[in-house]
Amino acid sequence: MSEQQEQQPGLRERKKQRTRQALSDVAIALFLEHGFDKVSVADIAAAAEVSKPTLFRYFPAKEDLVLHRIADHQGEAARVVRGREPGQSPLAALRAHFHARLDARDPVTGFSDHPAVRAFHDLVYGTPSLLARTVGFTARDEKELADALRETGAGDELTAWLAAAQIVTVHHHLALANWRTLTSGCAPSEALVRAHADAERAFDLLGAGLGGHYG
């Protein structure tokens, strides 16, 4: 007689999602206000009204309260390569995708007009322990991209692996460059055209190699 027939996620699951979200939101708000190192996990747990062990059941480390948002983008590069148009090269697909994300102001590009997102970037890039924790994520990203590239059959094992590493590195540095441009006080409109230009040159370099400049 109850009307809860067509809802896949049960009550328990919904509560968990809400607790997780609340935990992350409360944590990031506190981090942005006082700094990552000045806020203890006990503070966060208290503010979110859960116990400390519960907090760690949701997030394995303090850093993950911030980084799970980035973690959600895991394997994006691999998906882009796998889902590219027939006849399009992997590199062309990645290039087009990055430009598109840039125009959409996607936080993963390091670019944003929104002060809140900028503050979030300041937090991540400005906190060494957060930066260090990203390694694990990029490593998995790299591995997935390497798998995707290997599936194209265009290169051997080592080549795919190295290519994946180079692509991920360039992505990361492009985002970093955009963040630096913005935090140095550059106007967003001007920063955006520069970001596109930088991306063009970066992908050109990736495709043509370092030989033209340093070889």
Partner DNA sequence: AGAAAAAACGCAACTGAGTAACAAAAGTTT
Partner DNA sequence: AAACTTTTGTTACTCAGTTGCGTTTTTTCT
Q: What angle do CA 106, 62, 173 make, to 5 degrees?
A: 35
Q: For residue 101, which of 16, 171, 15 has the smallest C-alpha distance?
A: 171
Q: Which amino acid is at 181?
A: T
In angstroms, the CA 30 to CA 37 distance is 10
**Does 51 engage in binding with DNA (CB under 7 A)?**
yes
Site track 69-98 with a copy of itself (rule: CB under 8 A), x = hit: --------------------xxxx------
Handedness of CA 64, 144, 111, 210 (dihedral sign): positive
Taking a C-beta distance cutoff of 8 angstroms, is the pair 169, 202 a contact?
Answer: no
**Does 49 engage in binding with DNA (CB under 7 A)?**
yes
Min dist. Cβ of residue 177 to DNA (A): 30
Site track 6-45 with a copy of itself (rule: CB under 8 A), x = hit: ----------------------------------------
Q: Which amino acid is at 212?
A: G
Which residues bind to DNA, rule: CB under 7 A? Answer: 10-13, 15-16, 19, 39-42, 49-54, 56-58, 60-63
Which residues bind to a copy of itself, rule: CB under 8 A? Answer: 89-92, 128, 131-133, 135-136, 149, 152, 154-155, 158-159, 161-163, 165-167, 169-170, 172-173, 177, 198, 201-202, 205-211, 213-215
